[in-house]
Every structure is written in structure tokens, then in C-alpha cells.
Structure 1
């Protein structure tokens, strides 16, 4: 397991590269050019500049999250050809600086949805929260205004240029069915996966967050059966999954441990975080510790270890603790604690393996 840490860039993140480097076992950053709109080709000089910046702190840039997919590709419009061509050129450029994994998603309009960015928990910390009833009884535009008003830093997935066209986007998706979305995803994969394979890059789709249809929009990367179907769309080893325990774990019916065992060789990148799910469908993001949430984080790490996992891993969202003022879900302190919890479980598995090997000699 190779530990990495998401970083949003200088001036757009409260966490510094120097702080990331001091977290035990972290070897690289998970990054993007967050100011570029979906569909734009990434400039080589910007890519190289960020690579050099990370290298100066002793960190690699082998995982990108995300190269966003333009809505015209998801909608299957004729204009998708232009945006697919831009995407392909970006893949080729990223390969030149040593990128190995590109995370992306295929969620219509919203990359993720929460109804409160700073919900207070019993211990005084705050965390990202999803109130189920709010997404059925609120106009999406009203939720957007409420959420973006509470964040001073940019929020990927909620970019102003995307949200400015919210009404027209919802209109465009009105006639798009789940099967249409599957077809458009297959078309996209057939175009980009051969390029990724030639360039030594694994594409890794992120599950929908939350993993069910929302605001009447279709969602397709939601459960084990759909992940299985996704992998059959293109059977290349370069077509993979970013398995996110928090996104998928918001639905208690999802068995993340089973997914790890089934898809281990197609998971180049994993997000590990915990959520506590309530009976009414609400959920809140907790510490990474297993007993603090609904997701068996220790069991998930054990499953990765049993499969000899050598892919990239990052702690996903954390709480806001110890008075830290940070990007919602992306402070330093709780994610660093999460890494140490993950390493603790992993090290325990390693120690057990070594003891068993010594006994067998």
C-alpha cells in the first residue's frame, strides 16, 4: 500500500507540502489543476511547475484527482469529440511527468452532495453531513447557494462555471436515462483507455457520492454489481476503479470488503474513510476508526492486505478538529490521524504475516 495525500495547491489549501511530508509513510500528493474548467486541455508548463514544486518537498505526483469529464461527454452530445480530444492530450502530457493513475468520475452535474459542511458532532468537532430529506425537499439551486456561501476556498465539483448553468444542465439531463449514461460512459472509455494503456496510465473511476440517484439525475457507479458491469465495458487493465469506502459506504447494503476481494487487481487507487449512517438515510463523516462509524475500516484494510495490495491509498475526508480552519473535509489533523490508524491496522497485518512466515521455516 502506497500512501498519498490530497493537496489542492498553493493558495488554495490550508495544508502545506512541508506538513504533508512530515506525515509518516506519505510519499506523494494527489493533485489537479483545480482552476481549469472541465474539458480544457491542461497546459504542459502548469503540469511541470506543479511537479517541480512537489519534488522540492520530496513528494511525487503519480496520482491525479481529477481530470474532470465535460458534461457534453456524459450527455453524449456531438461536441463531446472536442472534449475527448482534449482529454486524450492531457493524458499524454501527464504521462510525460510520471503520472501513473488518473481518478475521474461520471456523475451528472454534481460530483458530490452534502447538505452541511460543518455539522457539529458530540465531541465538538465538525464534519461533512448529508441530510436525506433536504435533497428531496429543496431546490438544487438553493442548496448550492447555501453550501458555497459557507466555503471561502474553491470546492471541486461545485465550480462556479458549472453552477452558473445549473438550470440548463438539469434541462439537458431531463431525457437522459440510466442506460444512456452507461452508453456514453462506454463510448468515453473506448476512446481514452487505449491511450492510457499506451502511456502506462491506469484510469480509475470514482463511485457516485452518495451512491444513489439524486435530484432526479441518474447515477450508475453505485454498488458491486454496477462496478462489475463497469469493468466489462472495457476489460483493459488500464480501466480501473478508485474504490471509495466512504462514498459506497453511505449505502449500508454495499459490502466494501467483498468489493476489495473481487476487484483488487483493478483498484489502482483507494480512498479510505468512515461514515456513520442513520436509519433515515442521513450520514455524517466520522474519524477513520472502525467503531466510530458504520463502515468496517479495519476489515477493509485487512482485505487489501490479504490481496497483497500495492496500489495508492489516501485518507479521504476528515473531521475539522482542534480548531483548525480548513477546506471542508480536507484539514491536516484528522486526515493525518486517519493515516496513522490505517498504518496501524496494516502494520498489525504485516507483523502477523511475518510471525507466520517464521513459524513455517
Structure 2
């Protein structure tokens, strides 16, 4: 079996991104994961808007490979307000994307906030900076800033002690910056949420437990999967990040069991996954290569990054070939899946990946604060180069082994 390389991509946040399409092309990528971030959550993506963005990307010699993301309005997750209208807009957006030949759509079902970190500029020994999640610091946010009732019950005595020390060690300006880091890191846009906004959103979830949230997710899938099938669009749900409950909210896309449940909700090839190694990585029990092997046929997009687990749920984002993630085994499993697809004639045999996040390093450290944390150019270019080299090594080792076997047979 041949193990073909995956298609290399970068995330691009649109015309206002400080990393240009020219930069991305020079990094060696052939496509981008991008979205229409200027359109408010829940509103319709028109064919005209999609066509305009696609033309910009293609004029730079690249392809709009994957939509990341068509975001869900909170009303859909809670089944409140205008959720039926937002679902209809979502379905039509999928049809419009398919009509413009953009065929893979990532989304997530994380309540209230998107991905969460407690430090966006955690300094490593080599001087580079990365994203970091520390449970004690998040406890400080919950207890002293959000003032969520019963939050203390979610943390250990040591974490509570460390949270108090962390909180008392910050001045007013540092507390304001910490609040912004936690509640307003949405991909490609700033929501401008306040603590009061977060409290109001949390109140809507008071009667929504894990089972109820899964029920809402299933209803959403039953509505949109037929539209995706009609459009020829493959869906890719992104896992929870971090992959455990925060702010008392349930998480339903964090483990192997969760993935099996999601795929069984609507058993269609278009109901698929975005396999994000960095989002699954903080849970030691998640066997990432085995998850690829089990669910490989339903993977529609790939994010590759590594985390360094520090214990008790703490982690920082490591270099792509370092940390607690066995990137070799993951890439080998994904490339094998591609080989199986190609051998059986699947039209979607080629999977698109991007290096997910990256360290702020070298010249990027001298630039103004990045609008999209984790998405500076040089750190991701390093990640792409490392992953490209690893993939090439895997592919060539299989080819060379086949040649040796063929020679011996002669």
C-alpha cells in the first residue's frame, strides 16, 4: 500500500490577517483553512461573499480547501430564541458553499466560549512563547472574576490555594488583561464579551446537562446533514478545547466514546470529524493513533499540534514533534487511512491538514501583539516544515521497504 502525503495548508483569517497569502505560499502550503469572519454568527453566507473570498485566495495561487469555521449561534446549542432561523441559515450556507465548490466545513459545539487558555504568551526556556492552560489560574478566573457559584467544588485544595496566590499577585491592569485572554479569544474576531455577558449565557445552560446538550447536537445534525449531503459538503466537528468541563458546562466531543456517539447520531459519511491532535492530547487516556484507526474513514480535516501535559489537567503547546504527543504514530495512521481510501477508489482520499497553532518566535517576538494568538507565521512555518519532513520520511520508508521486499523476491 502506498502512503500518500496529506495536502499542506495554513489557516488564514482573511484580508486583515497579518500573515498574508503570499507568506503562506512561500511557507510551502498549497491551500488555506479560512472563513468569512466578518459575518456575524448565525447569519447567512451568500454565494457572492463566498465567491469573492475564494477569488482572493485563488488569485494568490492557493486553494480554499477547508472552511474553518461556519460557527454556530449559541441559540442553536441551547435551542432557545431564533435557533430554528439560524439552523435554516446554516443549511443554506452549506448549500451555497457546495455550489461554489468549497467542500469541507469545520464547526464545533462548545458552549459559550470557543477554545480557552489562561496564558497566551507563556515563555519557554528557548525564549519562544506559546499558549498555556493552567487549571489553578482558570480557577482564579471562575472564583474571583466570574464568581460562579460552587466553582470551588471543581478544583483540588492545591489548585484553590494556587488560584488565590495567583489572583492576589495580579494588579488591576493584569486582571483586565487576564479577563480578555480568557473570554474574548474567538477565531478571527473579537466578540467584546463582558463578565456579565458570560454570566447571562451560563444562566441559559442551568438546565442543560451533558445528556441534554447531546440531544440538541443530535437535532442539529439531523437538520444539517441532509443539506450537506445535497451540497456535497463534508462536515468536520472540532473537538472540545480543553477536552474537559469548564465553568460547569458539559463537554461532548472530547473522548473516543464521544466520537462514537457523535458519528452514530446521524450515520452518514458527511457527518465527520476534524481530527485535532492538540485538542484530544491533554487527556492521557486518549490513544490518538488508535482513534485515527477506529474513526479514520470519517475524518474530513486534520489539525496537527502537540501538547506537553504537566499533570492535573495543565498543559502547554509544545513544538510539533515534541511534547506528550506521538506525532509519528498519528501521521502514520492518517497516511495509512489515505492509502486505504485511494486503494478503494474514494474520491475524498486526500486529507487536508494544517499545523495547528505555533510558537511565537524569532522576528515575530518583535512585532505588535498578534490578533490571533497561536497564529504567527514563523512558528507555524516551522511546524509545517517539521510535519512535511516527518510525512516524507514515513512515505519514503514504506516505499524503500517495498523495494527491498521486491528485490528479495527476485
TM-score range, shorter chain: over 0.9
Partner in structure 1 of residue 22 of structure 2: 18
Summarize the Cα distance change of 1:307–1:44 in structure 2 as closer, same or farther, 3 Å threshold. closer
Partner in structure 1 of residue 134 of structure 2: 131
1:281 aligns with 2:313: yes
Partner in structure 1 of residue 55 of structure 2: 52
Larger relative contact order (Cα-Cα within 8 Å, sequence gap ≥ 6)? 2
Alpha-carbon distance between aligned partners in 2 of 1:274 and 1:167, rounded to the nearest angstrom: 32
Q: For residue 336 of structure 1, report the CA deviation from its aligned partner.
A: 1.0
Task: Map Cα deviations across residues 265-312 of structure 1 (whole Å, 9 max, x no partner).
Answer: 1001010001111023211111101xx311111111111122226211
Task: Map Cα deviations across residues 159-195 of structure 1 (whole Å, 9 max, x no partner).
Answer: 4265573221010011101000100000000000111
Q: For residue 147 of structure 1, report the CA deviation from its aligned partner.
A: 4.5
Give the paired residue count.
356
1:348 aligns with 2:393: yes
Alpha-carbon distance between aligned partners in 1 of 2:248 and 2:381, rounded to the nearest angstrom: 37
Task: Map Cα deviations across residues 195-216 of structure 1 (whole Å, 9 max, x no partner).
Answer: 1111111010000000011010
Partner in structure 2 of residue 261 of structure 1: 293
Instruction: Indicate if the aligned counterparts of 1:221 and 1:227 stay in contact, CA closer than 8 A.
Output: yes
Summarize the Cα distance change of 1:200–1:114 in structure 2 as closer, same or farther, 3 Å threshold. same
Instruction: Indicate if the aligned counterparts of 1:17 and 1:57 stay in contact, CA closer than 8 A.
Output: yes
Q: For residue 63 of structure 1, report the CA deviation from its aligned partner.
A: 0.4
Partner in structure 2 of residue 240 of structure 1: 272
The one of 187, 200, 215 equivalent to 1:168 is 200
Q: For residue 115 of structure 1, report the CA deviation from its aligned partner.
A: 0.5
Alpha-carbon distance between aligned partners in 1 of 2:88 and 2:143, rounded to the nearest angstrom: 31
1:315 aligns with 2:355: yes
Alpha-carbon distance between aligned partners in 1 of 2:352 and 2:204, rounded to the nearest angstrom: 36
User: Which of the two has greater helix per residue?
Assistant: 2
Partner in structure 2 of residue 190 of structure 1: 222
Alpha-carbon distance between aligned partners in 1 of 2:219 and 2:279, rounded to the nearest angstrom: 25
What is the RMSD computed on CA atoms of the aligned residues? 2.1
Task: Map Cα deviations across residues 33-76 of structure 1 (whole Å, 9 max, x no partner).
Answer: 11222111113322211111101111111200010111111112
1:77 aligns with 2:80: yes
Alpha-carbon distance between aligned partners in 2 of 1:118 and 1:323, rounded to the nearest angstrom: 15
Partner in structure 2 of residue 100 of structure 1: 103
* 301-310 or 330-339: bigger deviation: 301-310
Instruction: Indicate if the aligned counterparts of 2:77 and 2:109 stay in contact, CA closer than 8 A.
Output: yes
Instruction: Indicate if the aligned counterparts of 1:276 and 1:294 stay in contact, CA closer than 8 A.
Output: yes
TM-score scaled to structure 2, two decimals? 0.82
1:213 aligns with 2:215: no
Q: For residue 9 of structure 1, report the CA deviation from its aligned partner.
A: 1.1
1:337 aligns with 2:382: yes
Stretches of structure 2 that go unaligned for 5 or more consecutive residues are: 1-5, 147-174, 340-349
SS at match of 2:19: coil
TM-score scaled to structure 1, two decimals? 0.93
Summarize the Cα distance change of 1:330–1:204 in structure 2 as closer, same or farther, 3 Å threshold. same
* 179-188 or 72-81: bigger deviation: 72-81
Partner in structure 1 of residue 7 of structure 2: 2
Task: Map Cα deviations across residues 131-150 of structure 1 (whole Å, 9 max, x no partner).
Answer: 11122232389489534756
* 336-345 or 214-223: bigger deviation: 336-345
- Structure number with greater Rg is 2
Partner in structure 1 of residue 163 of structure 2: none
Alpha-carbon distance between aligned partners in 1 of 2:243 and 2:297, rounded to the nearest angstrom: 22
Summarize the Cα distance change of 1:140–1:303 in structure 2 as closer, same or farther, 3 Å threshold. farther
